[in-house]
Amino acid sequence: MIGKITPKQLGFALTSFVLGVWAFITVSAISGPAFEPIIAACSNPDYKGNMDEFVTQSGYHAYEPMVGLKLFELLVCITTQFIFELNQTFPAGVVTWGGLILVVQTVAVLCTIEAGRKGARGFIRYSILFGLLGQLFGISVVFPMLWVPAYILGRGNGPISKRRIHACIPLSLPGIGLTLAVFGADTDSYAWTVCAGMLGGPVVPLVSGVLWTDVPTVSPNNETIQASITSVKKLYRIAAIMSAVGYYILIYIVYGAYASEGGGGGFGTILGRLWSDIWTDANPSVAFMTIDTVVLYLGVLLLVAYQDTEKAFKAIVLTPLFGPAAASLVLAELEETRYEHQEETDNEDSKKKE
């Protein structure tokens, strides 16, 4: 049961919720008209069970219905076309999708950890549901609209289990591997079709089901708390390293792509060309991903600012240097003081009861 909500909690929760609503409205306005013919083709019963006819008559890319697990077949069809368009839009497609995956490294660790905290309640406990809703409506909508407010109002305060610690990083790897596949494999191959369907369908969210029976430490003591702090900090730092490496790779791709166009130009010129390709002149799929990446990162920064505004400012300052990895770095620092703040809160609550 959620206790009394403070003005600070209400302010940050509402701000994050509004951010998610804005993302939903903006994404719908940008991609809605472009996706209508795709949805019509993917839901056309005349193509049911006949992929060759679907490809020939609709002009869209083949998809693999099996990875939709029947219930999400329409989603797999739509997202396969979406990912194909990103693949064909270089370098904007790989930059925007890659940028999202970099932020997801932090979000994946954050969500996996917080779902297993003792005392956690509400939406943050249900990683599979969060993942599926993120695939259906966009992670930039679901994370700030539902997850961040749920975290602010219902986060736990204890250490996490060793099982969850060991699973944290491996659970983030399928998204990275599938991303490499859809931007590296031949789009005419069956392997590409399967990977695209898995990346945009229910398979990746369902992987977190390996922690379905995980339970937090029942009676935490100083030893288990310190061990958890050390492990969680290490997890965030590993995520930061992975994200930073990806960030530098994207910078290399951007520089190589625009430098090869000729015409010279310095840093500002390259940024101008990039911004044009990912936003002002972007196709709907790329613009969608630009919003997804930016809003998801803003959601993480809001979550950090709720806990410590100085840490949020530090993350913003470090972002140009390390990319979205900056959020993981400050979350690792916040873990060190989390239990101290919790003890202060517990003491205040005890005094109120007395």
DSSP notation for 210-267? GGTT----SS--HHHHHHHHHHHHHHHHHHHHHHHHHHHHHHHHHHHHHHTT-S---H
* Per-residue model confidence as pLDDT tens for the chain (354 residues): 456 889 999 999 999 999 999 999 999 999 889 899 999 999 999 888 889 999 999 999 999 999 999 899 999 999 999 999 999 999 999 999 999 999 999 999 999 999 999 889 999 999 999 999 999 999 999 999 999 999 999 998 888 999 999 999 999 999 999 999 999 999 999 999 999 999 999 999 999 999 999 988 667 778 888 888 999 999 999 999 999 999 999 999 999 998 876 555 677 788 999 999 999 999 999 999 999 999 999 999 999 999 999 999 999 999 999 999 999 999 999 998 876 555 444 444 444 444
Write down the pLDDT at residue 345.
44
- The type of residue at 265 is G
Structure tokens at 257: 């792509």
Where are the chain's structural domains? Answer: 7-211+220-353
Helix then strand then coil, in percent of the chain rounded to 5, is: 80, 0, 20
Length of the chain: 354
The answer to whether the bond into 45 is cis (omega within 30° of 0) is: no
> Would you say the C-alpha torsion 323, 28, 278, 92 has a positive or negative sign?
positive
Structure tokens at 214: 């995980």
Q: Coil, strand or helix: which one is 315? A: helix
> Would you say the C-alpha torsion 32, 324, 13, 225 has a positive or negative sign?
positive
What is the chain's Cα-based Rg? 21
Rounded distance between C-alpha atoms, residue 37 and residue 146, angstroms? 29
Indicate the pTM of the whole model. Answer: 0.92
Q: Which of 33, 89, 82, 34 is nearest to 61 (CA)?
A: 82
pLDDT digits (tens, 9 = 90+) for 23-39: 999 999 998 898 999 99
Q: Which residue is associated with the tokens 């309640």?
A: 121
Per-residue burial over 104-117, b if 16 or more Cβ lie within 10 Å, else e, is bbbbbbbbbbbbbb
